Amino acid sequence: MKYPFVALLLVLVAPLTLSAEERIYFQVLSGEETVSFTNQAVSGVHPVLKDVALRTFTKPFSPELVKSDYYQLTVNRGIVWNGENLIQYDYMPLMKDRFRNVFWFTADGSGLVKSEIYDNDGRLLFSATCMTNNMPVVPASSFVQLSMDESPLKFFGFANVYTESASDGTFRMTFTDGLNRFSLFRSLVKPKALKEQEKMVMYGNYVFNKIHGDYKYTVVGTIPYYKMEEVVVKAITLYDDESFRHTVESRPESMQTTELN
């Protein structure tokens, strides 16, 4: 009598517990809810959320690109997890103008075991933990390093690493300080009524939206809302300058050298 019941229980529980290669456990804040899932979840998780989580966890990281002007780094050793010695790197923003990032590496620094991002209210925006094999640490590409050194456009320690003009007229610029990232999008306002200003958390990223005239400015990333609003105000100011607008929209790859700190 016992065995059929046990077999039925195993059938129900097994899909939840069977291990496989490269199993990563994510916790992502979206709206007011924290969504928990693994990279091997086949249902119940939006595919874009899974993709965003994986890219956030695997984005390149080079400690030398993280400026000490903006972060206080605390290194903790002697952490043991799953029988492995780990080193914790805790990047705390000095001016609350970006978010705290915490990493757990293997003792030799070659494997990333866990990473977390907290906003300035202490809320966990993003968390990823390797349950099986550790993620190899990928150094920031030379493209990023070049951008950090020679970027013509800088926002409070962030460097522009990508610019794009889409066929629908959307213009976007992506910035990074070697740790946190944000992107600015400028697009035509859609016919449907929109709020003049909107804030939300989506897929572990802050989203800020402001309408100015015929255009909507949207900032997504891991910086606080007040800094996103500053970015939008500066972008609006820039685009009011006709000469700048002409330069940006006609030749997006070649930018004027402009310091906006």
Q: List residues near other proteins by CB under 8 A.
A: 1, 5, 8-9, 12, 16, 21-22, 30-31, 33, 35, 39, 43-52, 54-56, 58-60, 135-136, 138, 140-141, 143-144, 147, 161-162, 164, 172, 174, 176, 181-183, 185, 190, 200, 202-203, 205, 207, 209, 218, 220-221
Dihedral of the alpha carbons of 93, 99, 104, 105, in degrees to the nearest 10: -80
Closest CA to 180 of 87, 24, 61, 76: 61
Dihedral of the alpha carbons of 14, 47, 175, 172, in degrees to the nearest 10: 180
Closest CA to 84 of 50, 109, 119: 109
Nearer to other proteins, 42 or 80 (CB): 42
Nearer to other proteins, 20 or 95 (CB): 20
Closest CB 161 distance from other proteins, rounded Å: 5
Residue type, 224: P
Alpha carbons 199 and 21: distance in angstroms, whole number: 38
One-character DSSP codes across 165-183: E-TTS-EEEEEE-SS-EEE
Nearer to other proteins, 24 or 248 (CB): 24
DSSP H helices in 113-240: 142-150, 225-240
Nearer to other proteins, 22 or 241 (CB): 22
Closest CB 261 distance from other proteins, rounded Å: 22
Nearer to other proteins, 71 or 185 (CB): 185
Closest CB 177 distance from other proteins, rounded Å: 13
Nearer to other proteins, 140 or 232 (CB): 140
Closest CB 241 distance from other proteins, rounded Å: 24
Closest CB 78 distance from other proteins, rounded Å: 28
Closest CB 101 distance from other proteins, rounded Å: 15
Closest CA to 164 of 231, 225, 255: 255
Distances (CA, A) of 19 to 3, 38, 166, 179: 24, 11, 42, 31
Nearer to other proteins, 79 or 202 (CB): 202
Site of tokens 């915490």: 102
Closest CB 133 distance from other proteins, rounded Å: 9
Beta pairing, strands 158-165 & 153-155: antiparallel
